[in-house]
Amino acid sequence: MKGNWFQYARGFVTVKLVSGDADAFLAEAVSKLELWDISYARDGKLVFRVSLADFFRMRPILRRARARTRIMERSGLPFQMARLSRRKTFAAGMLGFVFMLFLLSTLVWDVQVEGTERIPAEQIRQAARAEGIYPFQWSFRLQDPSQLAEKLALRLPGASWVGVVKTGTRITITVVESTKPEEKPLESPRDLIAKTDAVVTRIVAENGRPKVQRNDRVRKGDVLISGIVGEGDRTKMVVSKGEVRGLVWHEYRIVSPLTTKTKGFTGEAHNRSYLLIGNRALQISGYGHEPFAQSEVLSDLKRFRIGNWTLPLGKYIEEEKEVVFEERKLTEAEAKAAGLAQARKELLAASGKGAVIKAEKLLHEHTENGKVILNVLFEVEQSIAVERPIVQSVP
C-alpha cells in the first residue's frame, strides 16, 4: 500500500471500475490524479485507491470514459471522525478514559524506602510526607528530586546521604546512614562473687584484684575478684572483669521409661486447596479422600500482592499426612543410657556456655512401674562468677 499516515489523515477510498473503458480512464487519470494500489480483480474489473479530494475531482474523467464506479472501502481519519460523530457517547467515553489515564499517570502511587537499618522506615516516610512525598500526590506538585533529597537529609540527622529517584509512578528514597561509634553502657564499680559452692580451677583477672587462687574452695557469695584496688588511703574502686571457673557438683534424679513411643510418616498424603476471599475460605480441590486414622496437617498461606499492597485474596493449601506411632520396649541398660544422655544435655544447657562434665557417679538405681529411676552426682567445670555492685557508704 502506498498510503501512509499523511494519506490516512486526508482519507482515501478503494474504488472498483464496474463499467466503461478502463484503459482510457487510466490514461487520463494517472496524469491528473494520485492513484495507487492499482490492480485487476478476479472478474477483470479495475481496482485502485485514491485520496478523498481526488475522488471528487475524477468525476469528469469518468464521464469522458463512460465509466461507473463502486466504492469498496472507506479508510482514513475523516471517515473515523464521521463514525465517531454518530457515536457521541462512545467518543466521549473514550476521550474520558484517555483523560483519566493521563491523570492517574501523574499521581505518585508508591513510595519505597531502601538502605535503612537503624533509622525506622516510618520516620523516613514521615519526613518525606512533610516534603510532599506520599501516595496519591500529584507529580507536578513535587520539587526537583535533588532538592527533595537535600531537604530530606536535613530532616534525618542520622543519614549521611539521601537520594530520591522517581520512576514512573513510583518514588524510591535511598538512605545511607552515618556511622557512629558504638555506645558502651556506663558501668559502676563492682565485685565478681561466687554464684555457688565450688572448687576454683581457673582464675584470670582482667581488671580488679583476685581474692582466691586455683584449688581454693569457695562458698556462694564469696568475693572472687575484688573491685577495690590499692592499699591504705590509696585505694580506688574499679569495674572488676575476668574469668573464674570451678568444679560444681549437681545431684540429679532421673526417671527414664522402659517403653517409648515414636511418630513416623507413612508417605501417604492428601492436599486440599482453598481460595481465600477476605476472612472466608472456599475449597477448590482435594475432595473425595478417605480420612486417615491418624494424621498431621501442614498448612501454607499465600496472599496475593500488587507491589507493597496486600490484597484480600489468597490461596491456602493444607497437606494432610498419615501418621503412625510405633511403641518400642527398651532394656534397662538402654533406658538408663537414654536417661543419662537427656540429663547431661539439660545440665550443660543450665550450666552456661563452656560448661564441661568432668565426672559422674551413680548413687542409686532401681526399677519401678515400668521406669528406671537413677540418682546421679555430676561434677561440672563451669563459670562461677557473677557481678555484685559495690555500695559506697556516705559519711
What mean pLDDT comes out for the span 185-190? Answer: 81
pLDDT in the model for residue 275: 85
Domain-located, residue 278: yes
Domain identity same for 234 and 346: yes
Query: Is 274 found in the same domain as 376?
Result: no
Note down the domain range covering 172: 107-177
CATH of the domain at 48: 3.30.70.340
Is 97 contained in some domain?
no
In a domain, 238, yes or no: yes
For residue 295, being part of any structural domain is answered with yes
Residue-wise pLDDT for 51-94, tens only, equals: 888 888 888 888 888 888 888 888 877 777 776 666 667 667 77
> Same structural domain for residues 251 and 198?
yes
Quote the pTM value. 0.46
Q: Is the pLDDT of residue 3 over 50?
A: no
Residue 94 lies in a domain: no
Is the residue at 374 inside a domain? yes
Same domain for 121 and 10? no
Do 166 and 224 fall within a single domain? no
User: Quick one: pLDDT band at residue 355, thresholds 50, 70, 90?
Assistant: very high
For residues 334 and 387, state if they share a domain: yes
Distance CA 156, CA 162 (A): 9
Residues 247 and 392 in one domain: yes
Structural domain count, the chain:
4
The mean pLDDT of the chain is: 85
